[in-house]
Structure 1
Amino acid sequence: MYDLEGKRALVLCGTRGIGLGVARCLARHGSSVTVSGTDESRAAEVAASLPGSGNASFACDFHDPADVGGKVAATGPYDIILLNSPGAAPGTVDELSAARLRQAIDLMLLSLHSAVEAGLPSMKRKGWGRLVAVTSSSLSTPIGGLAASSVVRSALQSYLKLLADSTGRFGITVNHVIPGKVDTDRLRAVDAATAGRLGTDVDAVRGAALESIPLGRYGTPDDIGELVAFLASDRAAYITGTGIRSDGGYDKSI
């Protein structure tokens, strides 16, 4: 067990997929967890289902970074924040218009920046904090069918590294987890889009992916959640400014 008793955690986009797995794990390890989602009733249901006590929820619109920051400020302070966002729509780089790129920047970068701005002052005053982001294997190999996400994730990686450099003296660590193929609704949608683009079926796309993963399976949201819980704990007190893979060996780069 990672001792997170007495810690208040915020899990952005915590009602489904990886975010939900993180929320479950943080709650199991003792933290009181607030989950955000786009649907208020869904977020409330998830919060009520989490183990432990003191769990809560709110809804916000990630297309509006100011709304995200405002909700974080109104519901905090937090000791731990999972910086997680919805993904941009699939598409190749030649299909990426300026409008869609601006939308992706709001959705996946500026919304998280706004959450950090709202949550950081209380962490600095306390002299302790954990900021953990969810990024992507596209940081090492851009994903052709997820062009907008690949571009914005790279910008987010630079932001997180600079943030770690500037906040370490306050006892705040900043890291990110790098999932591979995690079995979520979003990955299923991506697999379906890939199948359509290649003129094949989803089973063929999934089978090819599984052959490329040394552990032979897609990851689960809880696989990512346990890594986040470790990074949020005092056992990871000397880890900052880095990305850690949890991908079953999917990424072949060193």
Structure 2
Amino acid sequence: MLCGTRGIGAGVALSLARRGAAVTVSGRDADRAAAAAAGLPGTGHGSFACDFADPAGVAAAVAAAGPFDIVLLNTPGHPPGPVDELSAEGLRSAFETMLLPVRGVVDAVLPGMRRNRWGRLIAITSSSVDVPIPGLAGSTVVRSAVRSYLKLLAESAGPDGVTVNHVIPGKVDTDRLRSADAAAARRAGTSPDAVRAATLAEIPVGRYGTPDDVGELVSFLAGDAAAYITGTGIRCDGGYVRAF
């Protein structure tokens, strides 16, 4: 199992480790990745460092650390901003950090999964794939491209016993969300606490999600019980997204 060091990636790593998986943690900081792996329950965990700004380097690092049966495809988001401030260079950067590393990781792990006739590729996308988020224009555009890539990949890999799905988190309490709330507050001339309170009022379960919430869903998709689920996105949002 390949996961990350913070936020949702860390939540997934913990959830899978609790179920007995040997987890490999990746992140830009080698020491942080090693510490995250050492803190997981169970045994057999490992770590390595990679930088998503270098898609080829990510693919090479994953290939060297593998093989993997289950892979979490979780890339950094693009900095907040509206669409009229999204430059050509910004859009190019978003693709290079959010889509190309996913492709590189898939290229590194899919051949082994196909040989084994079993594998799980599970991506973390965003509620923006269902309802565009004006303040996250770069991420919104590229996450939609990632969803299309995953759907096509599911059709290709399915006959070989490999499922491809993505989890659509809503408002999950991570550093990324706190940064987005702060940016929204600056644009609105209010405080992050006010932004948070307004958002909580729109979430039926009345709270932000946690990385553990997402980790539990990913753990289900990673298991044999989810063998007939592929090519789809499943929300983990407390009812926040109102699209059908």
Between the aligned partners of 1:220 and 1:177, the Cα distance in structure 2 is 14
Match of 2:47 in 1: 57
Match of 1:225 in 2: 215
Q: Which amino acid aligns with 2:14?
A: R
Corresponding residue of 2:162? 172
Matched residues in 2 for 1:125 and 1:221: separation?
32
- One-letter identity of the residue aligned with 2:130: S
Q: Please, what is the CA RMSD of the aligned residues? A: 0.5
Instruction: Name the counterpart of 1:139.
Output: 129
Aligned position for 2:87: 97
> What amino acid maps onto 2:203 in structure 1?
I
Corresponding letter in the other structure for 1:115? V
Q: Which residue of 2 aligns with 1:3?
A: none
Which of 183, 197, 202 pairs up with 1:193? 183
- The correspondence of residues 35-46 of structure 1 with structure 2, limited to 5 A, is 35-46=25-36
Where do residues 235-254 of structure 1 align in structure 2 (5 Å cutoff)?
Answer: 235-254=225-244
**Given the two structures, how large is their TM-score scaled by the length of structure 2?**
0.99
Q: 1:19 aligns with which of 4, 9, 17?
A: 9
The equivalent of 1:213 in structure 2 is 203
Distance of 1:34 and 1:126 partners within structure 2: 19
Partner residue of 2:171?
181
Amino acid at match of 1:191: D
SS in 1 for 2:114: helix
Deviations 1:121-158 (A, max 9, x none): 00000000000000000011111111000000000000
Separation in structure 2 between the aligned mates of residue 124 and residue 151 of structure 1, nearest angstrom? 30
Task: Give the aligned partner of residue 2 of structure 2.
Answer: 10
- Counterpart AA for 2:208: Y
1:4 aligned residue: none
State the partner residue of 1:121.
Answer: 111
**Other structure's SS at 1:32 match:** coil
Query: Which whole-Å CA distance do the structure 1 matches of 2:36 and 2:153 have between them?
Result: 30
Aligned residues: 244
Shift of 1:203: 1.0
Query: Offset of 1:162 from its aligned partner?
Result: 0.2
Structure 1: runs of 5+ lacking an equivalent: 1-8
CA distance in structure 2 between the aligned counterparts of 1:81 and 1:97, rounded to whole angstroms:
32
Alignment partner, residue 74 of structure 1: 64
Cα deviation for residue 233 of structure 1 reads: 0.1
> Segments of 4+ in structure 1 off by > 2 A?
none
SS of residue matched to 2:234 = strand
